[in-house]
Structure 1
Amino acid sequence: MTVRVRFAPSPTGMFHVGGARSALQNWIYAKQQGGVFVLRIEDTDAARNKPEWTEGILSALDWIGISRGSYEGPYFQSANAGEHRAAATRLYESGRAYYCDCTREDVQARTGSQYQGYDGYHRDLGLGPGPGHALRFRTPDEGTTVVVDLIRGEPTFENKLIEDFVIARGDGSPVFLLANVVDDMTMGITHVIRAEEHLPNTPKQQLLWDALGVKPPVWAHVPVVVNEKRQKLSKRRDKVALEAYRDEGYLAGAMRNYLMLLGWAPSGDREIVPWSVIEDEFRLEEVNPSPAFFDEKKLRAFNGEYIRALPVPEFIDACQPWLTGTGTLAPPPWQPEEFDADAFAAVAPLAQTRIAVLSEIVPNVDFLFLASPLIDEAAWTKTMKDGSADLLDAAVAAFEALESWDAESLKSTLEAVGAERGLKLGKTQAPVRVAVTGRTVGLPLFESLEVLGRERTLTRMRAARLRLP
């Protein structure tokens, strides 16, 4: 039997990091088993679907390494509507489903409780199909439904506690539960690897598989992904869009590595490992069923490690979208003609050790490409205190006299200026850094001044001096 797994997102918004985790787990499992990864777009909610969301799913999968052409699909659930309706008809004709025209208010009036589930009122009344008649599955009165799950063992559900659930609406359109089962049957899915949030629906779906005469798939419900408050990650509350992380400058390799650690870990005391190790060592049955904490700070640290591991030419290439304004959320503050590729290449090794996401490259190097620095006024107020004017005057005079404009000469010269005033280098260089770069933190100062050049450095220091009394 060929293993066939599927990833079935809905095109109703940005691509959730939890969905990306599930896609990767399905992808690796299929590859390990010599099987097939199927992409199915569950697009039956026409009111919420947009074509650009579908393209966003495909692009996001491309980015994390599940490239187009390497999987089967994408299929679209809406194209299988005829099979969904046919299955609903078979269930009705076989007596496994019946029609009901009860409203929620009807049920509440009969039961006296707004919390009571459906009471089976129409089970034996023989109501036929018609406008406003929903089709309900006839759940067995006795026994249990056992879900064999590779991660959670054998969760067992008492059938009497499962209400007769709706499988087709009053207009005849099948609901998600039935459509999902029929699609999996049609596509020959053998293993369903999905998030824990779907587990409550699984006994209902397994009953549908049985009623339609097909052996259910192997189930595996991976842990829910939660935030630092141990709440399920929410699009309304948390930063969950994979595209947002991509556009901020997270590397695909770092994201893949981190997502696979949500509920699982490679052997040994290590977390950052080559993708080939993850592909070899990942085991579904080793996934921890407990909720998995999505720690953005840890992801940042991961990403910083991945950035520092890049060869410098690859780092320079990776930064280009942010330096040129291509495909990013905002263009850089300089004009294209102001960018100096050679100057960036000179400081790239310094920047590479200091940023955690690629978008941080812009504020670290913008001083090189702007006619004048973007002054952080809070930094100016904090740094430019009594004595700063005298220090800048002395530093300008000392720098003007330098024969060699290099980092070592600049450093020793400024050290001497500070020593004459009883200042250590840190205190001495702070006003110079703000005058030249506009900020109190950034790349190593003297290497930056070397690349910026004598004329531009002195011009900025003089301009800063004019702002001081």
Structure 2
Amino acid sequence: MSKVRVRFAPSPTGPLHLGGVRTALYDYLFAKNHGGDFVLRIEDTDTARFVEGAEEYIMEALEWCGIIPDESPKHGGKFAPYRQSERRDIYDRHLVELLKTDYAYIAFDTPEELDEIRNEFEKNGEVFAYNYITRNRLKNSLTLSKEEVEQLKKDNVPYVVRFKMPIDRVLNLEDIIRGNSAVNTNTLDDKVLIKNDGMPTYHFANVVDDHEMEISHVIRGEEWLPSLGLHYLLYEAMGWEKPEFAHLSLILKPEGKGKLSKRDGDKFGFPVFPLDFKDQETGAISKGYRESGYFPEAFLNMVALLGWSPANDRELLTLKEMIQEFDLYKVHKAGARFSKDKAEWFNQEYLKLKSPEEVLIILKELGGDKFQNYSDEKLLKIISLMKERATFVQDIYTQGLFFFRSPTDYEEKAVKKAWNESAAEIISELCAHLDKVEKFEAEDLKNSIHHFAESKSLGMGKVMMPLRLALVGELKGPDVPDILEILGKEVSLARLQNAVNNIS
């Protein structure tokens, strides 16, 4: 195999979708597994759909994920420029060569004329296609004389360049993921290669750029499978060696049929973009994984397994381990169903793997001045207790809010379950008992509470449930002695007394 070179070539027409991240990741893993290069190329020839800021968003999203290109508009490289809008002279040069062959022609049909023909076909119950049957009846360089064509060009009549699809040829198509297939050229239409503004369409620019940039493998979504025959023939027309192709399956919505969309994210409450994206027209913000509290390594791990299984069905892999194990031949043909629960599970597992010190840094960044009155020692104790229960770092604060604020009210169901006529008396006596504990630490507090319950001939539930309710405001949280230690004697006893005074 010659040097592996792959490219991720998004259009700056909006935010990067989860499926786009997966394509970029598989490109990156494949390249690095083979000691090759990963190229980021911006395909911005669709000026009508161009979105301001989308290119910057794409590059920032890939950097957050840790998918760093070897070559890109930002990083440069020997095949620059890496924006298609800056490669016009390259396309023009190759177009001249293509028009010398029998694989392309100029078409002067206006959109209105084509719509009129399309309507006629529909009236007869037929579907119009600009192809080997119809092209000889339309306004193009195949039906017009050379003089007529030159005059129309001289008069600045707009035209497009179309690919001339061969008649009745069977193309044998090869795909690393999907195996071999065949297509008859009679089923394919004559696609536009150059638009009437002189800019190339995806098909022409894509093939020219992949050739010019020495791309060895094209890894892209299955929506490009119908174009594979055309791309094969474009390589043939230009006399170039084609790359190997691999078409990835869809990422499916959590329920039902179809591709995962932003609408699914809105419906089920999860992001479909790596970073927040603001719509410049409406001002609406689409939530991203970064801003939702996901670790980039957890997000990337989750994305990697949407269509690929490493050896021994391992689920937690570092980027380095993914690179070592990745194999395009093991990428699944079937669509991969997205699961919000699984995405959260990955983040939870990565949170467990982080040290309390690592989490403290993130928590303080998220909390701003919330924690300015708390020592790192106390915060580290809280993190150690809450980390295993949390899905996101911010959960440590929201789920452990009782460490930072005394309860002002008490959950109704918890009160009915834990607080009866004798509870106030038990907590009052326990308050006096705990006031005598000199070493206010979890182990001593645990023993002291046990001794108190035994001395009063009470089951532990009779003591611990109202005690937890008094401290937390509801029946949740880590072990009560741990809560008492972190709150300290003064705060703990004040909460117990407050419960006695306020729970009826």
TM-score normalised by the shorter chain: which range applies?
A: 0.7 to 0.9
**What is the Cα deviation at residue 27 of structure 1?**
1.1
Which residue matches 1:140? Answer: 166
Match of 1:361 in 2: 396
Aligned partner of 2:106 in structure 1 is: 98
Deviation (angstroms), 1:169: 2.9
Q: Aligned to 2:88, what secondary structure does the other structure show?
A: helix
Tell me the alpha carbon deviations over residues 337-376 of structure 1, each in whole angstroms, 9 at most, x when there is no partner.
3343221112222222222222322213333334x34757
Question: Do structure 1's residue 182 and structure 2's residue 194 form an aligned pair?
Answer: no
- The 5 Å alignment of 1:275-354 reads 275-324=319-368, 335-354=370-389
Q: How far did residue 451 of structure 1 move?
A: 1.0
Q: Relative to 1, partners in 2 of residues 1:151 and 1:107: Cα closer, same or farther, differing over 3 Å?
A: same
Choose which of 261, 266, 270 in structure 1 pairs with 2:305.
261
Alignment of 1:155-166 (within 5 A): 155-166=181-192
Where does residue 240 of structure 1 map in the other structure? 272
Listed as ranges, the matches of 1:48-447 within 5 Å are 48-50=49-51, 52-67=53-68, 70-74=70-74, 75-88=82-95, 90-92=97-99, 94-95=101-102, 96-99=104-107, 100-101=109-110, 102-112=113-123, 113=125, 115-118=127-130, 119-120=134-135, 121-122=137-138, 124-126=142-144, 128-129=152-153, 130-229=156-255, 230-238=257-265, 239-243=271-275, 244-324=288-368, 335-370=370-405, 372-373=406-407, 377=411, 385-387=419-421, 388-415=423-450, 424-426=459-461, 428-447=463-482
Calculate the aligned-residue CA RMSD, in Å: 3.0
Moved more, 407-416 or 357-366: 407-416
Q: Mean alpha-carbon deviation: is it higher for 186-195 or for 385-394? A: 385-394
1 CA distance for matches of 2:365 and 2:249? 35
How far apart are 1:73 and its partner, in Å? 4.0
Which SS does the other structure have where 1:459 is aligned? helix
Q: Measure, in 1, the Cα distance between the counterparts of 2:333 and 2:360.
A: 40
Matched letter for residue 262 of structure 2: K
- Within 2, Cα distance between the matches of 1:167 and 1:25? 28
Aligned with 1:197: secondary structure? Answer: helix
Separation in structure 2 between the aligned mates of residue 379 and residue 48 of structure 1, nearest angstrom: 54
- Contact kept? 2:383, 2:396, Cα under 8 Å: no
Which of these two proteins has the greater Rg computed from alpha carbons?
A: 2
1:450 is displaced (CA, Å) by 0.6
Q: Does 1:24 align with 2:25?
A: yes
Helix, strand or coil for the counterpart of 1:231? coil
User: 1:330 corresponds to which residue?
Assistant: none
Q: Where in structure 2 are the equivalents of 1:4-23 lying within 5 Å? A: 4-23=5-24
Matched AA of 1:297: D
Counterpart residue type for residue 242 of structure 1: P
How many residues are aligned here?
A: 458
What is the CA–CA distance in structure 1 between the aligned matches of 2:326 and 2:227, rounded to whole Å? 26
Alpha-carbon distance in 2 for matches of 1:177, 1:451: 64
Distance in 1, matches of 2:179 and 2:312, equals 25
Deviates more, 1:384-393 or 1:55-64: 384-393
CA spacing shift, 1:400–1:149, aligned 2, 3 Å = same
SS at match of 1:155: strand
Q: What residue identity is the alignment partner of 1:183?
A: D
Q: In 1, distance between residues paired with 2:407 and 2:100?
A: 76
Instruction: Give the structure-2-normalised TM-score.
Output: 0.80
Deviations 1:214-243 (A, max 9, x none): 222110112221123243111232331123
Deviation of the 1:417 alpha carbon: 6.1
Cα distance change, pair 50–405 in 1 and its aligned pair in 2 (3 A): same
Q: Distance in 2 between matches of 1:26 and 1:376?
A: 53
Deviations 1:246-278 (A, max 9, x none): 333333333333322222222224332444332
Q: Using a 3 Å threshold, how does the CA distance of structure 1 residues 186 and 420 change in structure 2: closer, same or farther?
A: same
TM-score in terms of structure 1 length: 0.86
Q: 1:235 to 1:186 in 2, by over 3 A?
A: farther
CA distance, structure 1, for counterparts of residue 167 and residue 342 of structure 2:
49
Aligned to 1:346, what secondary structure does the other structure show? helix
Distance 2:374 2:53 in 1: 33
Aligned-residue offset at 1:107: 1.6
SS at match of 2:176: coil
Classify the secondary structure of the residue corresponding to 2:45: coil
* 2:486 pairs with one of 434, 445, 451: 451
Q: Match of 1:179, as an amino acid?
A: A
CA contact (8 A) 2:105 2:162 kept: yes
Structure 1 pair 440/40, CA: closer, same or farther in 2 (3 Å)? farther
Displacement of 1:6 after TM fit?
0.4
Gaps of 5+ in 1: 325-333
Query: Unpaired runs of 5+ in structure 2?
Result: 75-81, 266-270, 276-287
